[in-house]
Amino acid sequence: MKKNDLYSKEETFFQSKNKIYSAQSVKQIVYSTDIRDFGQVAKSIPCQDACPAKTNIPGYIRAVFEKRYGRAYELNRSANILPGVLGRICARPCESSCRHGETDNGQSVGICHLKRSCADLKPSSHRIIEGLYTPTEKKVAVIGSGPAGLAAAHDLSILGHKVVIFEGMDKPGGMLMYGIPEFRLPRDLLMLEIQNILRLGIQLKTNTAIGSDISFAQLKKEYDAVVVATGCVSPRKFDIPGGNLENVYNGLDFMKAVNEGENPFVGDKVIVIGAGFTAVDCARSAIRLGALDVSINIRKTIEYMRIDETEKYEAQFEGIKTYSLIQPSRIIEDNNKVTGIEFQRTRMEKIDKPPYRVSIPIENSQFSVPTDSVIAALGQSPDMSIISKKPDGMDGVFAAGDFVTGSSDVISAIAGGRKCAGKIDEYLVGKKRKRTVVRLENHATTDRQRSYDFIGKVVMNTIDMEKRLSKSTREVETGYNEDQTHEEAKRCYLCNLKYEIDPLVCIYCSACIDVAPKDCIKMIGNIPVNPDGTYGIYEETDDWNQVLSIAIDNAECIRCGQCLAVCPMDCISVTKTELIEIDT
Amino acid sequence: MPENDHYVIIGNGPAGNHAAATLRQKDKDAKITIISDECVPYYYKPRLTDFIAGEIAKEDLMVNFQDVKDIRIRCGQAVKRIDPDSKLLFLQHMEKIEFSKLIIASGSRARVLPTMSGYADHLKFVTSYTDVMEYKEEIRKAENFFIFGGDLVGFKFFKMLNSMDKTVTIMIDPDAFWPYRLTRDMLEQISENLLKFNTEIIVKDEVLSIDRQNGSYRVKTRKGIEKNVDMVLSFNGLNPNIEFAKGSGIDIDYGILVDEYLKTNVDGIYACGSCAQIYNQAIKSYTTSIGWPNAVVQGEVAALNLLGDHKIIESVGQKYFDLEGVKIKTTWWEDINEDNDA
Amino acid sequence: MKDINIVIEICGSAGEGTISAGEITSRFMSSQGFEIMSFDSYPAEIRGFGKCVAHTRISSRQIYSPGKLADVLIALNDKHAISQLSTLKENGILIYDSQPARPHKEDESVAGWAKPGMISYGIPLNMLAHKASGNARGMNMVALGALAALFYVDKSPFTDSIKTRYAKKKQIVIDSNVNSFLEGYNWTKENIKKIDPHSFKDITLPKPKEKLIINGNQLVARAALDADLSFYAGYPITPATKIMEILSRELPKHGGVLLQTEDEISAIGAVIGAGFGGKRAMTATSGPGFALMTEFTGLSVMAEVPAVIINSQRAGPSTGIPTKTEQSDFNSAVLGGTGDCPRIVLAPADTKSCYEATVLALYLAEKYQTLVVVLLDFFLSNSIRNINIPEKPSSEYLDANIAPDKNDFKDYQRYKITKNGISPRAIPGTPGGMFFSTGLEHDAYGRPNYSEAGHTAMTQKRFAKFNTVLTEAPAPEISANDRDEFDIGVISWGSSAGAAHEAVMSAQKEGINASSFSSMMLSPFPEKALIDFSDKCKKILIPELNFSGQFAGFATRILKRSVERLNFITGRPMASEDILQKMREM
């Protein structure tokens, strides 16, 4: 085909959308490794940047909008391995960075709920796509089948290595299986997504503890590399008088017991200590075990709780109260049984290094409340006992996930596992086989209607209190239906579309500024460059003599396309920017 | 930086106005601004029930406070966000205001609990001027009421309805006096004393659902009581108006946390009145104050401390609220011999 | 039933649909049977983003003035609205944009300036407009939606008014506007707690007769067409341009001719030429143009040629303030010009009498063969009222020329001295009706004649017309005329008369024994009626919109007594509130 034919064909395509686009708009794809493009992607797609696994969020939401749920699922899976699981219990750092949630923009997009929809709505004919590399004959042992271990195993397996996972417990999944309650994460779904990873030929050895069943040294000998992904399993000690009484639980053990189907005694009145999601899970489980009065008791204020608004709301909805600025000082007993707990009040103080706010107990401020049981969910730390020195990869021993970072969240663990797999691969084959580039593609339209910006966040469907109590494992959130999914998907601004004014064509008429819905188009005098080579924040000017250019600030832009519609010079271009992995 | 200090006070109630008056008295040159989200000048909130009952006119609601001089009063303007670092207030209507020092006296409003979310749309609240203006006529026309909760305002309101010969069902929730919780004995005594009003009292029960049908409301309780009423009013305590301070770095619990000097953890920012949780050395805990006299004193003390003084706040005014013969200490943390006080 | 009497002001920047929003409100309210009076003000400069205010008073009773202060201010533009806040009542309502596209700096937000006691409702006008139609253009309609929701105005007839307003536009324009209105309506219903007392709920007025919603300029043009105008010459000038604009479209359809001349001198020249040729002719101008015409006006009087000048007054002198109203051409219209120059001057007091005055002017000019000036002002030209459709003039008003009869042609004297001063007028080309015509003093045949007796006789003849003119004009309007004595008599003219009348009615309610006097006829002035009225009044107040009290000076000479004056040159129409206040002080 001659070049001219190609040109005219594409032009006809664009004309059919009632607008003729200039030659620059004709589809061109560029793969960039320029630091400025990475900087731009990070700055203007804040959700993706906030995601530890760098999930292509606008990309999959667009696919959801187009009702290509399978495609959306794969876009997720290629980054975060367990979309169905994460779609329920992810810590959602993306949503706190979502541009839609910024001041005056409304509420952030339900990114997590949409992830769940990909998994829920993908057709039965959906096929999982994996780009398998040739076998390398290398063997890797992964210790721990939690999210970090699974992610590492998955990537290593794809890269052609033979992987064996060693799991001390009866079932795989780690915290996913034993830490998170079933009413938040159904176990059949969890097993399905774990199976999807194991199907790559990964061997899973459960009930195999390192140290007792097989020694770490032996692993090192038998395998070319070892990954320690045992997470954080040692609960922080509940170090107050009476902390070891009957009916005083640590949060993790309590959840493990609940998740194994035991019904630990809670009584009528339960005191939960702790400010993280485990504390909330414990409290909500206690309600399901028949407790009538459950409270979460925290040392600092509610603002400092490490849980998101949904969890906060659900806990309140289930009648759980929160008492703040108190810390336990003593458990009151009668006949070796808990009858109450003594608290001490605290106040907030500032410490300078590092600048942080802490709670300080107030002397002689003790008071006590009666209770039947106490659950202390104070966090966990990694169990270092199986290894002799900190893994650094030098001798083929690597580590990933919470074991490295300390107690974090599932998505960080997955990202850690994948990153670790990349390092191991480099160690095993002697070179970097994959790298990330920015894919830039011209895009003809905004893909959106302005009215989408005014759709309110679709509320997640949940079951009522009666149903929650009738069967304690019944999933509380029931997911969006297809219509709700479509509606929520409309809300995404598609920040992966970059809007740019060509300063050489622009006639400075400022028509775009007049129609701008926000302070998103600016007269700029200078674009500073950051030390790392990326572009900094535009410096604005009111003085026409100083105006370097009229520019669209993609960190303010809500991609409404008003500017595009009014520009008399057609000098505003839209470019789709995506981070993708390619072979080196 | 502005030439003179700009003291901004959020809130146009007794705490805010007395803070403003004190600041003006001590600092003749400073620019002083009061910001209030209500479109009404300084008024007596406690008189709202009398106003609904028609006992006083609208003019009698207004406080004639001469001490507020040369103070810009911004009414009907809500603060949305505080940035203590750049000393900026962001108003709801997207105006930015620079301040040099700030007093938060934003008061509180009716509390809605997440457990009420299923029927919250059908509840009416009458704790502000705006509420009252909106519902006054409806209240006058309605015959049957369901009062749910029953805090201090609620009881006052109940008595007012009673004096207007309305039929009232009242459901008392011991938690409605938040942050104070009624004891079982208190609850029983209150119910008993309420009987003289010839009203139906429901205790130890919960609202299950409220439905609207043909202009009236059907209230169902968990224990199976059903009531058809013209209005359902909720009095479940008050929640401090402090959304705008969230995420600003100012310590917040339920209210804004301040020390005995009414200072927050941020320099130059003070809080007083019912939006503040004040540290009390005597009980070594934070307390939220109620009542007009407390708000007045706190406003004055906050202003003095803002200007460099070191005054410790003490509670004033009535020591007790009389709740149908049951005394509830407004200063329940203080160990007072009841006989001496009564 | 409760009375409605509310003044709504919409304030925005040119191009934001401020005036259309006011117009739609007026039309809608009129269709619901309310009396409306609206007055828009534009930026003095034609270009740019100046301030526009659409001021509308809506009442369930007869109203006479636009109302000084607004009950409601709708701010489409913060900067302009801040300057407009001074005309909002102390307990007024401010409706403002709570979510503009860009944040405001400190003190640049109108909401920040609402005084305690005012009620401000923040509506996200810009955001809702975007929501409804994808851009900010529908902000004005969102605001109207909010207004309707707040005041319990029925939304469906209101949307009908919007549809009517944009009926000639594309469907998408109609939809955008209607959607914006509904968006504002629904948002407000859901989100705003109403705390103001205004309500249109349960107010139903009798279904109104078909009304004209029209301003003075439009009525003048309409009257001119109805009164068989056949020639118009003019040069555009604010605020009279609209008359020419309408006639340029309509006059040719009626077989007439419209000529746009190079300046006002030419225009009046052409008008006198057409009058000489027997055609009904007129021009419309404002102060500066009127000054240019003044020399020529003498010719109309001297040569006894009918000519009509509409002078819509604006603030002067010189170019002055083109878009501000004033009554400062009284002297120039009544007393200006060269020599002893009797001319008829009419000043309609309200919109509907602009029609009457125009018909009368063309009739009087033709019958009395002289110059007739109609004094309008910016306010009358532009303020919009809903009025009953005026009755077309009867035939006697359409053919008023006193033509010569057979006897006259025996020895045709074009300027024959008659008792009433009117000489039978032959149209050039009439057989036997040849005559001289000149601006020089002349004899009965029109031949130049400078004799003492001749000039005296001719001047007397020209002034003799005045003896009967008054009988053909409407009598002065005097309120409470049945009483014998008043503490205060308010004498006014032109567009101030409505406010004066309203002030007097209010004063009477307050127990002040007062009456008002106004005359459409300024020249010749009904002096006897004025003196009779004055004799009944202990005190006289003359309010007018000029600095020097031009009419008061004129009246003082007639009355030979001192009067209280009340003068404003604020550019705003006379306010009854100000007159009432003055009366209280007297």
Q: Which of B114, B251, B283 sits opposite A301 (nearest CB)?
A: B251
Q: Report yes or no: C186 at the A interface, CB cutoff 8 Å.
A: no
Q: How far apart are CA A283 and CA A290, in angstroms?
A: 11
Q: How far apart are CA A158 and CA A144, in angstroms?
A: 19
Sheet holding A248-250, edge to edge: A248-250, A373-376, A269-273, A293-297, A321-323
Q: Which of A105, A299, A325 is the best residue to mutate to test the B interface, defined by the most B CB atoms within 10 Å of its own CB?
A: A325
The minimum CA-CA distance between C538 and chain B, rounded to whole Å, is: 39
**Comma-separated ranges of CATH 3.50.50.60 domains in chain B:** 6-107+241-320, 111-237
Residues of B in contact with C111 (CB under 8 A): 76-77, 91, 93, 95
Element (H, E) at A116: helix A111-121
Quick one: how far is CA C413 from the chain centroid? 41
Q: Which of B90, B94, B257 sits opposite A348 (nearest CB)?
A: B257
Do A387 and A451 lie in one domain? The reply is no
Residue where a domain stops, chosen among C208, C224, C259: C208
Percent of chain A at pLDDT above 70? 95
Q: Which of A319, A347, A364 sits opposite B279 (nearest CB)?
A: A347
Q: Report yes or no: B83 at the A interface, CB cutoff 8 Å.
A: no
* Residue A1, in any domain of the structure: no
pLDDT digits (tens, 9 = 90+) for C449-479: 999 999 999 999 999 998 999 999 899 999 8
Cross-chain Cβ contact B96/C120 below 8 Å? no
Is a pLDDT exceeding 60 seen at residue A7?
no
What's the pLDDT at A16?
A: 38
Residues of B in contact with C122 (CB under 8 A): 76, 92-93
Q: Report yes or no: B332 at the A interface, CB cutoff 8 Å.
A: no
The minimum CA-CA distance between B75 and chain C, rounded to whole Å, is: 6
The minimum CA-CA distance between C51 and chain B, rounded to whole Å, is: 21
Query: How would residue A12 be classed by pLDDT, with cut points 50, 70 and 90?
Result: very low
Do A176 and A291 lie in one domain? The reply is no
Do C417 and C354 lie in one domain? The reply is no
Query: How would residue A6 be classed by pLDDT, with cut points 50, 70 and 90?
Result: very low
Q: Which of B114, B251, B283 sits opposite A348 (nearest CB)?
A: B251
List C-alpha distances in Å: A512 to A446, A497, A584, B226, C513.
15, 17, 41, 60, 62
Domain count, chain A: 4
User: Which pair of structure tokens corresponds to residue C487?
Assistant: 């503490």
Do C34 and C134 lie in one domain? The reply is yes
Cross-chain Cβ contact B285/A365 below 8 Å? yes
Tell me the average pLDDT across C279-304: 96
Chain B segment 110-149 residues within 8 A of C by beta carbon are 129-131, 133-134
Do C447 and C319 lie in one domain? The reply is no
Residues of A in contact with B174 (CB under 8 A): none
List C-alpha distances in Å: C436 to B56, B290, C32, C340.
85, 100, 59, 21
The minimum CA-CA distance between A552 and chain C, rounded to whole Å, is: 15
Do A414 and A445 lie in one domain? The reply is no
Residues of A in contact with C49 (CB under 8 A): none
Q: Cα-atom radius of gyration of chain B, to the nearest Å?
A: 21
Q: Report yes or no: B114 at the A interface, CB cutoff 8 Å.
A: yes
Q: How far apart are CA C366 and CA C305, in angstroms?
A: 8
For A563, nearest residue in chain C (alpha carbons) = C135
The minimum CA-CA distance between B99 and chain C, rounded to whole Å, is: 11
List C-alpha distances in Å: A270 to A238, A285, A294, B341.
16, 11, 5, 38
Do A48 and A151 lie in one domain? The reply is no
* Backbone dihedral angles phi then psi of residue A3, each to the nearest 5 degrees: -60, -40
ipTM: 0.86
List C-alpha distances in Å: C448 to B168, C418, C441, C483.
101, 19, 6, 54
User: Which pair of structure tokens corresponds to residue B235?
Assistant: 């009095």
What's the pLDDT at A178?
A: 94
Burial class of residue C214 in the structure, from the number of CB atoms within 10 Å of its CB (0-12 exposed, 13-18 middle, 19+ buried): buried
What's the pLDDT at B145?
A: 92
Is a pLDDT exceeding 80 seen at residue A423?
yes
Do C273 and C295 lie in one domain? The reply is yes
What's the pLDDT at A50?
A: 96
* Residue A2, in any domain of the structure: no
Q: What is the mean pLDDT of each run of 10 residues along chain B (342 residues)?
A: 80 94 92 92 88 87 84 92 94 92 93 81 86 86 87 82 88 73 77 80 85 88 89 88 92 91 94 91 81 89 93 72 62 41 32
For B259, nearest residue in chain A (alpha carbons) = A347
* Residue A6, in any domain of the structure: no
Cross-chain Cβ contact C117/B94 below 8 Å? no
What's the pLDDT at C48?
A: 52
Largest CA distance in chain C: 86
What's the pLDDT at C335?
A: 94
Tell me the average pLDDT across C364-370: 97
Burial class of residue B76 in the structure, from the number of CB atoms within 10 Å of its CB (0-12 exposed, 13-18 middle, 19+ buried): buried
Q: How far apart are CA A245 and CA A233, in angstroms?
A: 21
More confident residue, C288 or A334: C288
Closest to A283 (Cα-Cα) out of A260, A307, A315: A315
Ordered DSSP codes for C177-211: HHHHHHHHHHHHHHHPPP-S----TT--PPPPPPE
Domain at A522, CATH number: 3.30.70
Residue where a domain stops, chosen among C346, C378, C398: C398
What's the pLDDT at A283?
A: 97
The pTM of this model reads 0.85
* Residue A416, in any domain of the structure: yes
Is a pLDDT exceeding 80 seen at residue A394?
no
Cross-chain Cβ contact B247/A303 below 8 Å? yes
- Is residue A307 within 8 A of residue A276, CB to CB? The reply is yes
The minimum CA-CA distance between B276 and chain C, rounded to whole Å, is: 25
Pairing of strands C477-478, C514-518: antiparallel
Chain B segment 206-235 residues within 8 A of C by beta carbon are none
Do C109 and C141 lie in one domain? The reply is yes
What's the pLDDT at B340?
A: 34
pLDDT digits (tens, 9 = 90+) for A435-457: 999 999 988 788 788 889 889 99
* Residue A11, in any domain of the structure: no
Counting one residue from chain A and one from chain B, the pairs whose CB atoms sit within 8 A come to 46
Distance spanning both ends of chain A, measured CA to CA: 31
Closest to B20 (Cα-Cα) out of B45, B37, B42, B38: B42
Do C351 and C465 lie in one domain? The reply is no
The minimum CA-CA distance between B204 and chain A, rounded to whole Å, is: 14
Domain count, chain C: 4
- Is residue A155 within 8 A of residue A421, CB to CB? The reply is yes
Is a pLDDT exceeding 60 seen at residue A4?
no
Percent of chain C at pLDDT above 70? 99
Q: Which of A324, A357, A365 sits opposite B284 (nearest CB)?
A: A365
Do C463 and C482 lie in one domain? The reply is no
Domain at C97, CATH number: 3.40.920.10
Chain C segment 120-149 residues within 8 A of A by beta carbon are 126-127, 130-131, 134-136
Is a pLDDT exceeding 80 seen at residue C37?
yes
Q: Which of B39, B134, B136, B137 is the best residue to mutate to test the C interface, defined by the most C CB atoms within 10 Å of its own CB?
A: B39
Domain at A337, CATH number: 3.50.50.60
The minimum CA-CA distance between A463 and chain B, rounded to whole Å, is: 12
Q: Report yes or no: B96 at the C interface, CB cutoff 8 Å.
A: yes
Residues of C in contact with B6 (CB under 8 A): none
Task: Name the neighbours of C, counting chains with at least 3 Cβ pairs within 8 A.
Answer: A, B
Percent of chain C at pLDDT above 90? 85
Alpha helix stretches (DSSP H) within B150-203: 152-163, 184-194
Tell me the average pLDDT across C336-365: 95
Question: Angle formed by the axes of helices C287-302 and C264-276, to 10°?
Answer: 30
Q: Report yes or no: A456 at the C interface, CB cutoff 8 Å.
A: no
Identify the three-state secondary structure at position A96.
helix
Residues of B in contact with A301 (CB under 8 A): 251-253, 257
What's the pLDDT at A1?
A: 35
Domain at C538, CATH number: 3.40.50.920
Q: Domain B6-107+241-320 falls in which CATH fold?
A: FAD/NAD(P)-binding domain (3.50.50)
Task: Name the neighbours of B, counting chains with at least 3 Cβ pairs within 8 A.
Answer: A, C
Residue-level length of chain A: 584
Q: Which of C99, C107, C109, C189 is the best residue to mutate to test the B interface, defined by the most B CB atoms within 10 Å of its own CB?
A: C109
List C-alpha distances in Å: C459 to A226, C301, C345.
125, 10, 18
Is a pLDDT exceeding 70 seen at residue A581?
yes
Q: Which domain holds residue C458?
A: 406-470
Query: How would residue A3 be classed by pLDDT, with cut points 50, 70 and 90?
Result: very low
Task: Name the neighbours of A, counting chains with at least 3 Cβ pairs within 8 A.
Answer: B, C
Residue owning tokens 């019944």 = A474
Do C301 and C446 lie in one domain? The reply is no
* Residue A134, in any domain of the structure: no
Q: Report yes or no: A516 at the C interface, CB cutoff 8 Å.
A: yes
* Backbone dihedral angles phi then psi of residue C191, each to the nearest 5 degrees: -110, -15
The minimum CA-CA distance between A186 and chain B, rounded to whole Å, is: 25
Q: Which of C99, C131, C135 sits opposite A104 (nearest CB)?
A: C99
Average pLDDT, chain A: 89
Residues of C in contact with B40 (CB under 8 A): 116, 195
Residues of A in contact with B283 (CB under 8 A): 365
Identify the three-state secondary structure at position A84.
helix
Q: How far apart are CA A262 and CA A284, in angstroms?
A: 16
Q: What is the DSSP letter of C87?
A: G
Q: What CATH superfamily classification does B111-237 receive?
A: FAD/NAD(P)-binding domain (3.50.50.60)
Residues of B in contact with A104 (CB under 8 A): 94
Q: How far apart are CA C172 and CA C66, in angstroms?
A: 35
Tell me the average pLDDT across A44-61: 95
Q: Which domain holds residue A369?
A: 241-376
Do A356 and A455 lie in one domain? The reply is no
Q: Report yes or no: B57 at the C interface, CB cutoff 8 Å.
A: no
What's the pLDDT at A25?
A: 45
Do A124 and A157 lie in one domain? The reply is no
Tell me the average pLDDT across A175-194: 96
Q: Which of C103, C126, C135 sits opposite A562 (nearest CB)?
A: C135
Do C171 and C240 lie in one domain? The reply is no
User: Which pair of structure tokens corresponds to residue A422?
Assistant: 């990349």
Ordered DSSP codes for B46-93: GGHHHHHTTSS-HHHHB---TT--SEEEE-S--EEEEETTTTEEEETT
Cross-chain Cβ contact A348/B117 below 8 Å? no
Is a pLDDT exceeding 80 seen at residue C298?
yes
